[in-house]
Amino acid sequence: MIRADASRLRLALLLAAAAAALFAGWKLLWFLTDDAYIAFRYISNARLGYGYVWNAPPFSPVEGYTSFLWVVLLDLVWRVLGVEPPAAANTLALLFALATLALTARMVWRLTWTQERERLRLPLLALTLAGLVSHRTFITWSSSGLETAMFNALVAAWVYAAGFLPAGSRRRPLAIAGAAAALCLTRPDGLLFALATLPIVWLALPGSSVRERARGLWALAPLAVVPTHLLWRRAFYGAWLPNTYYAKYTGPWPESGWRYAASFVLEYALWVWLALALAVLLPRWPMLRERLRAELRGGGGRDAGSVRAAAKPAASATAPGRGAAATPASGGPALAWTLVALALLAHLLYYTLVIGGDHFEYRVYSHIVPLSLVAFVWMLNLARIRPRASLALMAAAVLLALPVPWTHWAQTRRLETREETFLMRAPVAPHWPAAARWYARTFDALQDWLINRFVCVRHQEHRVLHRFEVETYPTRAEGSRIGPDGQPVLAELAVGVPAWVLPRVHIIDLWGLNDHVIARSDRITAPKRQMAHDREPPEGYVECFQPNVFLAGPRRMQVFRREPQLTPQQIAACEAQWRAWLRQRPTRTRSGG
């Protein structure tokens, strides 16, 4: 009893220290992106009675956000607590990051450990949490104002529900489906996890026959929100996908994607993880393949045991009660874990080979950071590597992930102007010892190629851009003095902050994220591809709306009176004219770099 109490105390102290470290990192890298204010604009318009729209009527609704559940959550916080989205977003993001931290700890703690390796549980958990709270990508996306931290927490919850909740538990299928449904509402790519959820839940349902399992299909009820939301999107916005997809995607871009992935691998020394995976998993592939075949032949009706239990012989003893509590669902856990891994891999491959990465630094990879650390511990157990070697390998993986990102941060953290940070590239190699510069130069070359094409743009650039925009435009209270009379229109490139501080002004988003026509325009004149910055307004389109709101100086807007005034009927006619033009001209795609 005394030993158990001491163990619980050490665990509690470890979790508290990790949470405190995450909070310190959150404060250190705290930032809001200009893009976050796009969602804030939709919430503002809902509060004004127009629903989730970019511009008030007579403009047609456009879905320029990709985070429905995040928008709803921020809207709810504003309505119930009176806290506006810019003030609430990063606090909520921190809470989701803390939830991810807790789920990561829970997953490591619930791995099946043999008696001889039981004493490694706490030190390996400590190294896992140290790796997580020192990981620059994880810390970066614990703020930003975007939905990223929420999405990451939900991915961790989905993996935990699918692989770590007790076998045979009635709440397990419901938890898997619930997490998948929330992922779909948080980001459109959550649909991948929803599709994987269908067979995973089927495997998790109790019973050995189809009829017995069919009685438990009610657990899939949360997924009903997925088609419901899709139908609502089609009915309200007139499209099956968010407008941002059409604006950003101009064709597959693997030339960018492999560099984005390689940059991530080099920055965080993930070649250590890949080497361990090859050494541990490749020799065991025949055994796993036979196990999958056996489960498929058996229809998934027999509990094949835990994938985590593969780290020990069947006769090995585990800590009392822990092995049973951590067993995945009855019905072929190897199949379930394979489906989980395939869903995560498909998501990574889609963003890497099709989209080409992301405009933001490693945002679309950030959810795999905690999962990769858990997987590293699992592989150490699976290979039955000796305790000291296990600790040394884990410590090496954590320490080797620090030099590149934090050298980069040290060189950029004092850059405070827009001129210094626009398309900011900060070479790491000059600040490293000569013997290691070859590695840093390879990383620097990848970063140079990517950032020059608006891919993997770093945190500090977005941090400075946000401050620049806030200092350039008036406050929301001042901007609200421009009323809706006369249909004021502003045409702008970086639309986030101005869209929030000018709530009654119609805004034409020149990059097309919030504009139906520009998002589908075939006018692409840049000589090389630029992530999310390729499309341009067709000639004459912006002029049709007669922009009359301009930035006259720092924090000062000027509104010119039109003669004659622009009418709602003219706006509706402009939209109808240009949407008809679109139907006659197919969307143009690009390839190559």
User: 530 lies in which domain range?
Assistant: 473-584
Do 130 and 180 share a structural domain? yes
pLDDT tens for residues 503-531?
Answer: 999 999 999 999 999 999 988 888 899 99
Domain co-membership, 501 together with 417: no
> Is the confidence at residue 199, as pLDDT, over 70?
yes
Residue 156 tokens read as 């961790």
Q: What sign results for the dihedral spanned by CA atoms 12, 18, 24, 26? A: negative
State whether 432 and 357 are in the same domain: no
Q: Is residue 437 located within the same domain as residue 480?
A: no
Q: Is the pLDDT of residue 428 over 80?
A: yes
Given a contact cutoff of 8 angstroms between Cβ atoms, the answer to whether 23 and 94 are in contact is yes
Model confidence over 137-195: pLDDT tens digits? 999 999 999 999 999 999 999 999 999 988 777 889 999 999 999 999 999 999 999 99
Q: Is residue 37 part of a domain?
A: no
Q: What's the average model confidence in pLDDT over 213-228?
A: 89
Does the pLDDT at position 316 exceed 50?
A: no
Confidence (pTM):
0.92
Residues 254 and 370 in one domain: yes
On whether residue 341 sits in a domain, the answer given is: yes
Say how far residue 355 (Cα) sits from the centre of its chain.
14
Q: Is residue 397 part of a domain?
A: no
Residues 441 and 580 in one domain: no
52-61, 159-168, 535-544 — which is least confidently predicted?
159-168
- Return the pLDDT at 1: 57
How many domains are contained in the chain?
3
Same domain, 236 and 357: yes
Distance of CA 93 to the CA centre of its chain: 12
Could you read off the pLDDT of 10-46 as tens digits, one per residue? Answer: 999 999 999 999 999 999 999 999 999 999 999 999 9
Report the half-sphere exposure of 164 (CA within 13 A, side-chain side). Answer: 19
Task: Answer yes or no: is 50 within a domain.
Answer: no
- Asked, for residue 394, whether it belongs to a domain, the answer is no
- Do 263 and 186 belong to one domain? yes
> How far is residue 510's CA from residue 544's CA, in Å, rounded to a whole number?
14
What is the tens place of the pLDDT at every residue in 98-148?
Answer: 999 999 999 999 998 877 788 899 999 999 999 999 999 999 999 999 999
| Neighbouring-strand partners of residue 507 | 490
Could you report the per-residue pLDDT of 326-341, keeping only the tens digit for each?
333 333 478 889 999 9
581-587 long-range CB contacts below 8 Å, 24 or more apart? 581/517, 581/538, 582/516, 582/517, 582/520, 582/521, 585/522, 586/522, 587/246, 587/520, 587/522
Give me the pLDDT at residue 586, please: 61
Q: Check whether 536 has a pLDDT greater than 80.
A: yes
- What's residue 334's pLDDT? 83
pLDDT tens profile 340-389: 999 999 999 999 999 999 999 999 999 999 999 999 999 999 998 999 99
- Whether residues 168 and 259 share a domain: the answer is yes
Residues 172 and 137 in one domain: yes
End residue of a domain, out of 416, 445, 465: 465
| Core vs surface per residue 180-201: b (16+ CB within 10 A) or e | bbbbbbbbbbbebbbbbbebbb
Is-contact 361 456, C-beta < 8 A?
yes
Same domain, 156 and 240: yes
Place of tokens 């871009």: 253
> 451 and 478 share a domain?
no
3-state secondary structure 389-446: HHHHHHHHHHHHCCHHHHHHHHHHCCCCCHHHHCCCCCCCHHHCCHHHHHHHHHHHHH
Q: How many alpha carbons fall within 13 Å on the CB side of residue 126?
A: 13
Residue 399: inside a domain, yes or no? no
How is residue 551 written in tokens? Answer: 């930035």
For residue 374, being part of any structural domain is answered with yes
SS3 state of residue 68: helix
From residue 224, give the alpha-carbon distance in Å to each of 187, 217, 219, 235: 16, 12, 11, 17
- Domain contains 182: yes
Q: Among residues 429, 444, 465, which one ends one of the domains? A: 465
**Residue 222 in 3-state DSSP?**
helix
pLDDT at 356 (0 to 100):
97
- Final residue in a domain of this structure, among 465, 487, 517: 465
Token pair for 130: 């140290």
